[in-house]
Amino acid sequence: MRCVCEPLCRMIGLAVAVAFMAACGASEYEYVGWSPPYSGGPSYGKPPQCVDIPVDLRLCHGVGYQQMLLPNLLEHETMAEVKQQASSWVPLVHKNCHPGTQVLLCSLFSPVCLERPIPPCRWLCEGVRDGCTPIMEAFGFPWPEMLNCDKFPEGDVCIAMTNTTSPATPTGFSPICPPCDNEMETDTMLEHMCASEFAFKAKIKDVTRENMDRKVILQKKKKMLKVGNLKKKDMKTLVLYLKNGADCPCQQLDNLGNQYLIMGRKVDQQYLLTGIHKWDKSSKEFKKAIKKLKTYKCPTFENVFK
C-alpha cells in the first residue's frame, strides 16, 4: 500500500505530522498504533477497512491521498452513501468561502487510512463554519448538526491546516451576493438549480430593500422550468428575497430590462432567491445547461443540511 504521509503532513497539526513521518519510514504502509483524545467518534457496526477513493467522489478525489477508511467519521458504511451525501457539499467548496473547507469535509467523509480515523480540529471547523455559514444561509441552508464543531477536539491530534498565516479571505473569494455570483458555466448553473426548489424564466418588475434583505418583485409572465411545490396561486403573487443581500452587489438586479433564469426555494414562510442568470441563448454554456437540466440528477440537499 502506498504511503500517504508526505501530502498529509502539509495539512495536519505538528503532532500528527510526526506520527505520519514515523510511519513512512517503513518500506510498506504501517498503521499508527495510538488512540487520539477524541471520544465523539462513531461506534462502527463493522470493522473499518481501507478502500480506494473513487474518481466519482468529487469532493475528495485528488485531495492528497489515495485511500480512506470506511465506515467514515460520519458513520457512512457504504461507498454509495458516502458519494450521495458528499455530492451535496461540492458546490460549497466551489464558493471558496474558506481555504479549509475541503480539508474539513474530507477528514470526515474520507478519513485517511489509519488504524483510527483522525478528526478535524475544532478551530478548523469553527473557521469553516464562520466563513461558509453566510453562503449557506443565502441558499436557505443552516449549518448542519452533523458538523457541530463542539464535538471535535481542541488538541494537537487532529486534522488542521499548518499554514496559519494565510489571509482570512481566500483566493477567489467574491463579495458579490452568493446567488448572483455566477459565471456563465454549465456546472455553476446546475449547482444553483440543484440548490433550488423551483426555476422559471421571467423579468423583474422592481427591487427594494427590506431590512437586511432585498425584495424582488417579478413581472406576472413566467415560463416554468422546474415547478417544485409551487402552485398556480403562489405564482401570481410570488415575491423573492435575496437573503442578507441588502448591501452586497448583484449586477443582475440592476438591469430590470433583461429576461432571467430565476431560481428559488421556500424557507419558513419566505421565498428565497437562490440563483439568477441572464437568459442568454447566444451562450453555448447557457444552452447546454438548459438542455442538461432535463436529465441532470441533483444531490439530495434536504437529507444533508438539517
> What angle is formed at CA 36 by the lines to CA 34 and CA 38, rounded to 5 degrees?
155
Side chain identity at residue 172, one-letter code: G
Q: Does residue 109 have a pLDDT over 90?
A: yes
Q: Can you name the CATH fold of 178-303? A: OB fold (Dihydrolipoamide Acetyltransferase, E2P) (2.40.50)
- Each residue's pLDDT tens digit, 135-144: 898 888 899 9
pLDDT band at 294 (very low <50, low <70, confident <90, very high): confident
Higher-confidence position of 292 and 100:
100
pLDDT band at 45 (very low <50, low <70, confident <90, very high): low
Domain boundaries, the chain: 5-151, 178-303
Please state which CATH class domain 5-151 belongs to: mainly alpha
CB atoms within 10 A of CB 78: 10
Looking at every residue in the chain, the average pLDDT score rounds to 79
- Each residue's pLDDT tens digit, 192-234: 788 888 999 999 999 999 999 999 999 988 898 888 888 888 8
Distance CA 131, CA 149 (A): 13
Query: Is the Cβ–Cβ distance between 272 and 195 less than 8 Å?
Result: no
Residues linked to residue 67 through DSSP beta bridges, in sequence order: 52
Distance CA 171, CA 156 (A): 27
Query: Is the Cβ–Cβ distance between 140 and 243 less than 8 Å?
Result: yes
Q: Does residue 118 have a pLDDT over 70?
A: yes
The pLDDT score that the predictor gives to residue 300 is 64
Instruction: Classify burial at 247, counting beta carbons within 10 Å of its beta carbon; exposed 0-12, middle 13-18, buried 19 or more.
Output: exposed
